[in-house]
Amino acid sequence: MDGTAGSAPILSFLIPIYQMEHFLRRSLDSLFMQHRPEVEYVFVDDGSRDRSWAVLQEILHENPGPRACSILLRLPENRGVENARIEALARARGRYLWFMDADDLLARGTVDAVLELLQREDPDVLQCRCRNLFAGEEMPSLPEKLDYGTVNKEAMLRIALTCRSTLHSACLNLIKMELARNYPMVRTGLRIAEDYVMQIRWLVFAEKILEIRDPIYGYVQRPSSAMHRHDLVRRNRDVNAATNLIVKFFEEEVPAGQYCFARKELETARINLRGYLLCCIYGDYPRSEQPGIYRECAGLFQGMALRRVLLYAQSCYLPLLILDHWGAERLLPYCFSLMRRGRVWSAGIQTVIRQWLGRVRG
């Protein structure tokens, strides 16, 4: 095992690896081309059965600078990305942590910009934005002047709980090591959505949060990724459990009075978190199979009435899924009846009508 020597690095990249032999080189090329001595890399091979470990060794052999700043751990069996991240965190020495998936990309110029910002501003959390990449797409270079600013934490948490952003994803939050040590990662045993539980916990207890508003992280979309790989039953179960853990955290661990989230808002969070993750599952399947998948996923609603979903869903995911499943002929009259009876113009109803209008005009 290699490792950095001397003073502690400023930034540690924590990179779990599982079955990544065909994707690792492209990802690490985007990272190592930006190597700085203030950076370390912690790689954890999570029991890969392919050539991931050998490919990693080859890449490091070709890059002596990053190799001298790398820590490597090979686990005997696959136990999931959550466990791999915990193992990586236990070995990291940087002042800040950045979880990175082993198939994703960084925009050119990201590392220099992030190091400069961390040292100048000293935030507890530095959030960044992402760009979804498909079929060989590359990340563009950063603009000359990075757009960033301070985050209103309560407003940001409301957005996170309604899933109107991905800022609670593990790879989009750089965490100060002190914060991670004071509030250690909780082992949930989840294979899906475990980072939602972890990140929202750190965001709640952070004092100073900055956000880079330019997309600097490239999420590579592929069918064999963790979100898409596990069977439907396992994914349903994990989504349900993650949602319950997040709501339970706000109910039991967040100090009373720290945030004015009412019980109704937390119930709304249940709708939106489940809806967002359900649609990630739902969209994986061919359209011909989606009605059956919809019925199998119905347990995520746990008896939530359609009326509640349309009135309280603040993200677009559930209303769009319902529109696809019901069809406009059935759903639009129901939306109009809700509007007439309650004089409501909810985000869910707006989404249904706007999507329907877009399809008609298209």
The residue extents of the domains of the chain are: 11-226, 230-361
Whole-number Å distance between alpha carbons of 336 and 331: 9
Whole-number Å distance between alpha carbons of 29 and 61: 13
Alpha helices in 127-225 (DSSP H): 153-161, 177-182, 194-205
Would you say the pTM of this structure is higher than 0.85?
Answer: no
Whole-number Å distance between alpha carbons of 282 and 208: 36
Residue 321 has pLDDT above 70, yes or no: no
Residue 350 has pLDDT above 60, yes or no: yes
pLDDT of 239 reads 74
pLDDT of 2 reads 47
Whole-number Å distance between alpha carbons of 81 and 18: 8
Q: Region 336-353: what's the mean pLDDT?
A: 69
Chain centroid to CA 219: 10
Residue 59 has pLDDT above 60, yes or no: yes
Mean model confidence pLDDT for the chain: 80
**CATH 1.10.1200.10 is right for the domain spanning 11-226:** no
81 or 263: which carries more pLDDT confidence? 81
- Over pLDDT 90: what percentage of the chain? 43
Q: Region 86-101: what's the mean pLDDT?
A: 97
Which H or E run contains 148? strand 148-150
Q: Which of 85, 99, 82, 104 is nearest to 11 (CA)?
A: 99
Over residues 207-220, the pLDDT tens digits come to 999 999 999 999 88
Q: Region 56-84: what's the mean pLDDT?
A: 96
Three-class SS of residue 290?
helix
Instruction: Find the range with the poorest average confidence among 54-68, 192-206, 211-225, 226-240.
Output: 226-240
Instruction: Find the range with the poorest average confidence among 124-133, 193-202, 248-257.
Output: 248-257
Q: Which of 216, 210, 214, 9 is nearest to 123 (CA)?
A: 210
Residue 126 has pLDDT above 60, yes or no: yes
Instruction: Work out the pLDDT band at 303, boundaries 50, 70, 90.
Output: very low
Instruction: Work out the pLDDT band at 268, boundaries 50, 70, 90.
Output: low
Whole-number Å distance between alpha carbons of 285 and 197: 26
pLDDT of 168 reads 66
Instruction: Work out the pLDDT band at 44, boundaries 50, 70, 90.
Output: very high
pLDDT of 76 reads 95
- Cα separation values, 138 from 33, 56, 131, 253, 295, Å: 14, 21, 10, 41, 37
Spatial neighbors of 273 by CB under 8 A, at least 6 apart, are 161, 163, 196, 239, 242, 243, 246
Residue 242 has pLDDT above 90, yes or no: no
Residue 283 has pLDDT above 60, yes or no: no
pLDDT of 107 reads 95
Residue 161 has pLDDT above 80, yes or no: no
Residue 304 has pLDDT above 60, yes or no: no
Q: Region 158-180: what's the mean pLDDT?
A: 79
pLDDT of 155 reads 80
Q: Region 30-36: what's the mean pLDDT?
A: 97
* Angle (nearest 5°) at CA 266 between 264 and 271: 95
Instruction: Find the range with the poorest average confidence among 42-46, 56-60, 81-85, 345-349.
Output: 345-349
Instruction: Work out the pLDDT band at 121, boundaries 50, 70, 90.
Output: very high
Q: Region 331-336: what's the mean pLDDT?
A: 76
pLDDT of 132 reads 84
pLDDT of 49 reads 96
Instruction: Work out the pLDDT band at 66, boundaries 50, 70, 90.
Output: very high
Q: Which of 116, 176, 126, 175 is nearest to 149 (CA)?
A: 126
217 or 247: which carries more pLDDT confidence? 217
Q: What is the DSSP letter of 76?
A: S
Which regions of 241-346 does DSSP assign to beta strands (E)? none
Q: What is the DSSP letter of 184?
A: P
170 or 42: which carries more pLDDT confidence? 42
Q: Region 87-111: what's the mean pLDDT?
A: 96
Identity of the residue numbered 131 = R
